[in-house]
Amino acid sequence: MIIERNKTYLLQTKNTSYMFRILPTGHAEHLYYGQSILPEKMYEEFLTLGKISDDGSKEADSANLCLESMADALCEKHASAGGNMISYSDEHFEIALEDLPLEISSFGKGDIRDPFIHLTHEDGSDTSDFVFSKATIQEGYLAPQTLPGAYCDGKITKIGEKEDKTSYLVLTFTEKEYGNILELIYTVYPDCDVITRRAVLKTPNENVHINRLMSCQIDMHESGLKFTSFHGRWADEMHKTESICDGGRIVNEEMAAGESGSRSNPFVMVSDKDTTDDFGNCYGFNLVYSGNHYEALSSNGYDKSRFVSGISFARFGYTLSKGESFETPEAVMTFSANGYNHMSEHMHDFVRSHITRGVWRDKVRPILVNSWEASYFNFTESSLLKLAKEASKLGIELFVLDDGWFGQRNDDKRSLGDWYENKTKLPNGLKGLSEKINALGMDFGIWVEPEMVNEDSDLYRAHPEWAVQVPNRHHSKGRNQMNLDLTRTDVQDYIIDAMKNVFSSGNISYVKWDMNRIFSDYYSNELVGRQEEFIHRYYIGLYRVMDELTKAFPNILFEGCSAGGNRFDLGILCYFPQIWGSDDTDAICRIDIQRGYSYGYPQSTIGAHVSVTPNHQTLNCVPLETRFDIAAFGCFGYELNLCDLSSSEKKEIAEQVEFYKKWRHVCQFGTFYRLQGDRFMTVSKDKKKAVCYMIQKESRPNRDVVTYKMRGLDDNKIYNFSNKYVTIDLKSMGSLINMFTPVHIKQNGLLHAVANAFVSVSNEKEDLTISGALLNNCGVRLKPKFGSTGFDADGDKVGVMRTNDSRLYVLEEKE
Ligand code: GLA
């Protein structure tokens, strides 16, 4: 809901308010963003009034009064510009832009903070002064022209009870001396408690060079706030980092990688110092963009903070000729007064309903088996079919053929760009293979990396000018490969054609779209003199390619990937509803990585697989159950050679698959709560079901009382509480089994092996019927785990929980 009275604006969501007003100078003073400041009754009143027009109608009078007095209370009162600050003008000497919260700040008129916009004009000056000229409020949303953006299709699947009806505001500013036009576009998603912002610059009178143009600026009336960002590297993404900003500037930035990046994800939070998952004020910010980005929180001597976000300007510039326009990526903002979990809930709901789209948006994702860690480049049609047969016996639904199926691709040194089958490995092509997989009752999917080329490829030999490199200079490679120049329309067309050909060459229902190196040797033959525009134009090109292909193949489930989670962002999620979370499949590492993603991204967007032990990235050994339990909270699959597993492992996997089919909707689409320690849980939107996760990272004896306290359940519902039953093999009890056996069994001897094949040790079983109120407010005291004494070998009262063992608990409303 957006309300305007006398140039005061209120952007209202269910639980948050955002306010600003236009000053007599034409600048927009930011008044407030946070917990709703409208009494509920008034919110209802506003809702029934709908859009309030300027006709001064009777009903609108109370709104009028209310908004104006709210603005009077919130605005800053200044008598004069203090000390050595700049007074804006003689008529308005009390206005010092340096000490005013603003909706946008331009460079050169006294606001010396991190600016929203910085231009160089045709006359060489880089001072700008944008002042208000008009505003329009509409229902619905206004789609960006060149970039992906959040959307609202008017018939949004309900997220629980939520059903957003969006409205948007276009606030137009004109640059006083030069006539350039800056539009700020705000869209309000009331039920998700999200507001998006972006900007469009138009230059009707002159050529302009953009040095920076941000997407979002939020000025806050306090300092000492906490800035939380997520950093990492390949195979180690999304580590949470917190810094207090009490003066100076804290920056989260991907300035040269050329992708949103694992080094610094564009999702960040700004909160009070003591905000936790369950308590406190917290803002969440993200950007619908996949290129270099910048998010910064600064605070100044007047105890004010500024948050800005947008395209990184470190290696960016853009020349607009007279009459052209430039639009920024869309920034997403949300706020909660109830801690990070509640903020995440808003973000998750928003991403699920307004970022991801297409037929897969609300559908549970199929359980897949991926060939990569099963056989890497080394496979034949018959070895793939063996794997597929095993997978189909276990109930797996989708077979994914990863890298290695095309050109001469027997290692990672060649053939990227040559998108035709390797007939030695696949004599019957993708068509023949996919038919055989389909005959096994499974869908078929394929891996591609269309944005790349190897020097050793037919494509490079034919078109060296399509690769990103500085002409006649040495170029550097990443994973032996080069980026293709997607700023060029002919390269985009080539990729579209090549991929259309691949995607229709068999019955393909899933595509993993990879991108395995960052950028170097930035250069495009078509951007001579404007190389600073390269990365931004690259993404405009990529988005065109993704748009055409996802429209041409609407039923394909696309999974983004960039050497794991190196391009995990809302831009990609506008086209591909899920992204491979990390090349690290070690279950223990995955806990931190997936927990990191969970702050800003819902489980239905995160690819997560069970792989072999010892793990291929860390050589750590982790039980199969533990590997399953963490992967279950994502787009789930197996990535190991199923044929090499023992019969008991296969049996365990078949049980996991069966369990997952029953619970995956809750795991993928439920509301996610981070709990104490490494625990977390998901609760279905109707609160009838929940799945809870627990891991024992370090097992110690004689500690048998463990309480599992939950969140988000309905206090008034009665639930059946149980655990996913886990069997343990006899061998894991070591020589202790002699406590229970009539004859002595030598550890690792023949008898031990025989006994192990036939006998398994029983584990604890939880089975209670209890209220949501008890579970939310107190929690369950779990059955004890083996801790040196008291083991219940053939009962179900005591469990085994070694270091790195985990458990899933499930709750179902008792009918
Ligand atoms: C990247 C991906 C992996 C796998 C390989 C194939 O590293 O992240 O999952 O697809 O490429 O080369």
Which residues partner with 241 through β-bridges? 229
Ligand 1 pocket test, candidate residues 373, 449, 561, 572, most atoms within 8 A of CB: 561
Both tokens assigned to 379: 């496979």
Ligand 1 pocket test, candidate residues 375, 401, 403, 446, most atoms within 8 A of CB: 403
Mean pLDDT confidence for 551-573: 98
How many Å apart are CA 343 and CA 334, to the nearest integer? 7
How many Å apart are CA 773 and CA 756, to the nearest integer? 43
CA-561 nearest atom, ligand 1 = 8
pLDDT(210) > 80: yes
Ligand 1 site, CB within 6 A: 372, 402-403, 412, 447, 514, 516, 561, 563-564, 580, 583
The 10s digit of each residue's pLDDT in 415-436 is: 999 999 999 999 999 999 999 9
**Banded pLDDT at 56 (limits 50, 70, 90):** very low
pLDDT(58) > 70: no
> Are 104 and 217 in contact, with CB atoms under 8 Å apart?
yes
The 10s digit of each residue's pLDDT in 280-298 is: 999 999 999 999 999 999 9
Res 613: pLDDT: 97
| Cα–ligand 1 centroid distance for 396 (angstroms) | 21
| Cα–ligand 1 centroid distance for 448 (angstroms) | 10
Res 815: pLDDT: 86
CA-562 nearest atom, ligand 1 = 8
Res 57: pLDDT: 46
pLDDT(301) > 50: yes
Res 502: pLDDT: 98
Query: Looking at per-residue confidence, does 41 or 317 come out higher?
Result: 317
Backbone angles phi, psi at 456, to 5 degrees: -90, 80
| Cα–ligand 1 centroid distance for 560 (angstroms) | 11
Res 50: pLDDT: 52
**What are the residues whose beta carbons fall under 8 Å from the beta carbon of 402, sequence distance 6 or more?**
370, 371, 372, 447, 512
**Banded pLDDT at 18 (limits 50, 70, 90):** very high
Q: What is the DSSP string of 707-723?
A: EE---S--TT-EEEEEE
CA dihedral over 461, 466, 469, 475, signed as positive or negative: negative
In three-state form (DSSP H/G/I as H, E/B as E, the rest C), the secondary structure along 490-542 is: HHHHHHHHHHHHHHCCCCEEEEEECCCCCCCCCCCHHHCCCHHHHHHHHHHHH
Mean pLDDT confidence for 746-773: 89
| Cα–ligand 1 centroid distance for 388 (angstroms) | 19
Average pLDDT of the chain, as a whole number: 94
Reported as type and span, the H/E element at residue 236 is: strand 236-245
CA-nearest residue for atom 4, ligand 1, is 372
**What are the residues whose beta carbons fall under 8 Å from the beta carbon of 472, sequence distance 6 or more?**
none
In 3D, which of 537, 611, 536, 599 has the Cα closest to residue 568? Answer: 599
In percent, how much of the chain has pLDDT > 70?
96
Specify which of 67-71, 601-605, 794-798 reaches the highest per-range mean pLDDT: 601-605
pTM of the model: 0.97
Please identify every residue annotated as catalytic.
Answer: 514, 583
Cα atoms in the Cβ-side hemisphere of radius 13 Å centred on 324: 13
> Are 797 and 783 in contact, with CB atoms under 8 Å apart?
yes
pLDDT(272) > 50: yes
CA-639 nearest atom, ligand 1 = 9
> Are 420 and 498 in contact, with CB atoms under 8 Å apart?
no
| Cα–ligand 1 centroid distance for 564 (angstroms) | 7
Mean pLDDT confidence for 517-522: 97
Least confident of 78-82, 368-372, 469-473: 78-82
Mean pLDDT confidence for 485-494: 98
Ligand 1 pocket test, candidate residues 372, 416, 590, most atoms within 8 A of CB: 372
Q: What is the DSSP string of 327-387?
A: EPPEEEEEEESBHHHHHHHHHHHHIIIIIS-STTTTSPPPPEEESHHHHTT---HHHHHHH
**Banded pLDDT at 55 (limits 50, 70, 90):** very low
Both tokens assigned to 403: 């890298």
Cα atoms in the Cβ-side hemisphere of radius 13 Å centred on 661: 11
pLDDT(53) > 50: no
Mean pLDDT confidence for 664-688: 97
pLDDT(54) > 60: no
The 10s digit of each residue's pLDDT in 337-347 is: 999 999 999 99
In percent, how much of the chain has pLDDT > 90?
86
**Residue 357 burial by CB count (10 A; 0-12/13-18/19+): exposed, middle or buried?**
middle
CA-nearest residue for atom 8, ligand 1, is 563
Q: How far is CA 189 from CA 65, 334, 631, 778, in A?
A: 25, 10, 31, 35
How many Å apart are CA 129 and CA 109, to the nearest integer? 7
| Cα–ligand 1 centroid distance for 766 (angstroms) | 40
Tokens 């953009």 belong to residue:
210
Both tokens assigned to 156: 């949004």
Query: Taking the CB of residue 754, how many other CB atoms lie within 10 A of it?
Result: 12
> Are 538 and 487 in contact, with CB atoms under 8 Å apart?
yes
pLDDT(156) > 90: no
The 10s digit of each residue's pLDDT in 212-231 is: 999 999 999 999 999 999 99
